[in-house]
Structure 1
């Protein structure tokens, strides 16, 4: 089976939820040489443009402009023209923005699977025109996709209520088994001590809520003993990201930038608490990673977070600084305290098999 993938900035090691999803998913589909998979990458995110392969996945770089508003649209249009000449058995388009080209792909007689990772037009960073294109992409993907995959029950219900499409297939994000690090050298370079820091990660955009997390943290008794560490950065520097960095510096918060691999493993391995204060998520892989490491967790009570069924006292009202302060100060953190969460449905091997079944149903 010949599969081509569109909608991700690229793989490997490119930050983002869709990117992480694709990086973990597609290598698991190369079973017994039965499938050929090509991931289309956006040229402006690929550092090593000579690289043509990752774990058996073919990589194809196609031009994308350095524009937050237009990179996905331009790249998706050029990509679907390229894909039309290559004639794969299945085209898999991730995220609602790139699905603007689903109708065009169908005109080329291509079989299209859409994965809806969330209504991105709810993100605070987008202006009115961008929201219009995102909503149109959602409509196009849901209307013309042969099959629609959703990563959460909330999105499944949204599609049913908004577009009367009730046959979407729920296949969640996944998470690898944790690699618990025995090293602390990276922590030492950050000036932090194991078991003595609170951790979170994500892009520096308003909907992640890192600004009110910092303000809440600064007012807690925990701040006298535990540092706050935020891993991530902005894809495109903005007024918000600059203000966030200034706020972090003022409150002695550690910012690591985008990290992966051993550095990220060390931070997950030795965190005393993981906090996810987001206003909006699809199904956050960062939360699943924290669960896989068994960390104590505080998360905002948005549907994307509550669907993983953490204990009720792990959730606070989204955006409520006073409640977050109260919850953080109510915690009795213990060194290397770990919990066992239910993770079976988030196994990448199972998710790969479920996605392949969707492809096979089209052929």
Structure 2
């Protein structure tokens, strides 16, 4: 089977979310013997034509020079190239800057779109951009041969809004092999004596809600906030709340450090409220975190009863100050790790995608 994957900056992962997913999926499918091609930005630090058994196609990306408009040109270049590759499957990760080119999608391929989250709900976008993203979502939903939803919540949304069925396949996570308290010493914290929040500095990740709740609690343990504060909202948070107790650690890209910080935290806050299965939540589950999550459909579909939930600062403060039975918390951690082993492991996700591709080849009425 010949598979093309576009919609990311490329592999190996040097950026985040979809790039990490593309890395695992492309590698796994190639190991199974499939001919896999991943589209990489011309700006990607990896410039080879092969990554393991994965073929790399570099396409010109102008985002670094002209900003967001460059994403549309990059996707246009990728799609134009895909038209001459004769892929059996063209998997498009997300839709924000490629569904506008739906009329150029290769007719000889089965076009499958992973619909990501509700991008148009993100508060960082102004009203015209949000309107465009709704249109982009509509184009993807209407013109794809097959839709993939990474959460049950997104699957339900696609059914309700577009009367379109989709296949539910989430993301995966790896369970770390070991931990060491010495790794976190550089952050001047003690094991099980700090709170942790990891997120992009965006309002919909409820960072301010969590910080306000933490301050309301007047707890002595510090709150460590991990994420790049370089944007306007991040700078606002740092200017207004940064102090010896609320510690902005910046972005941390070392997986070993992040996993150890998660594992040894007294409580891990997950404030994401827009989107489907969030990779950082799965990683927290894999690290045996005691989790407090924003109360929404997406988080509850994954965590179920194995977390505490909040929607305002008062509830955050209550979770911090309440004395929870350690035995119950241990059960939450154990069940969340078991979910990673059984439902959110990469082998299963790769197998599920492979089966969806095979079935699509058998049943989709795309011209071949």
Same fold (TM over 0.5): yes
Partners of 1:312 and 1:266 in 2: CA distance: 21
Partners of 1:50 and 1:90 in 2: CA distance: 24
- Post-superposition shift, 1:68? 5.6
Q: Secondary structure of 2:302's partner?
A: coil
Alignment of structure 1 residues 39-188 onto 2, 5 Å: 39-44=38-43, 46=44, 48-62=45-59, 63-66=61-64, 69-101=68-100, 103-106=102-105, 108-166=107-165, 168-185=166-183, 187-188=184-185
Partners of 2:63 and 2:74 in 1: CA distance: 8
Does residue 216 (structure 1) correspond to residue 213 (structure 2)? The answer is yes
Is the contact between residue 99 and residue 140 of structure 1 (CA under 8 Å) also seen in structure 2?
Answer: no
**Which blocks of at least 5 consecutive residues in structure 2 are unaligned?**
362-368
Partners of 2:73 and 2:144 in 1: CA distance: 20
Query: 2:297 maps to which residue?
Result: 303
Partners of 2:131 and 2:222 in 1: CA distance: 40
- Post-superposition shift, 1:361? 2.3
- Post-superposition shift, 1:49? 4.2
Q: State the TM-score, normalized to the length of structure 2.
A: 0.87
Query: 2:202 maps to which residue?
Result: 205
**Structure 1, residues 298-318: CA drift from partner, whole Å, max 9, x if none?**
00111110101432761122x
Does residue 282 (structure 1) correspond to residue 276 (structure 2)? The answer is yes
Q: Secondary structure of 2:360's partner?
A: coil
Q: State the TM-score, normalized to the length of structure 1.
A: 0.88
**Structure 1, residues 151-187: CA drift from partner, whole Å, max 9, x if none?**
1111111111111112x111112111233322523x2
**Structure 1, residues 108-149: CA drift from partner, whole Å, max 9, x if none?**
433211111112001111122322332222112211111111
Give the RMSD, CA atoms, in angstroms: 2.4
Closer, same or farther: CA 256–333 of 1 in aligned 2, 3 Å: farther
Is the contact between residue 86 and residue 108 of structure 2 (CA under 8 Å) also seen in structure 1?
Answer: no
Does residue 340 (structure 1) correspond to residue 327 (structure 2)? The answer is no
- Post-superposition shift, 1:220? 1.6
Is the contact between residue 231 and residue 259 of structure 1 (CA under 8 Å) also seen in structure 2?
Answer: no
Closer, same or farther: CA 12–204 of 1 in aligned 2, 3 Å: farther
Does residue 249 (structure 1) correspond to residue 247 (structure 2)? The answer is no
**Which blocks of at least 5 consecutive residues in structure 1 are unaligned?**
none
Closer, same or farther: CA 302–16 of 1 in aligned 2, 3 Å: farther
- Post-superposition shift, 1:104? 2.8
Does residue 231 (structure 1) correspond to residue 220 (structure 2)? The answer is no
Partners of 1:68 and 1:293 in 2: CA distance: 36
**Structure 1, residues 229-255: CA drift from partner, whole Å, max 9, x if none?**
222216xx4321211232352354141
**Structure 1, residues 284-342: CA drift from partner, whole Å, max 9, x if none?**
1111111122211100111110101432761122xx1111111211145969x742124
Partners of 1:197 and 1:24 in 2: CA distance: 32
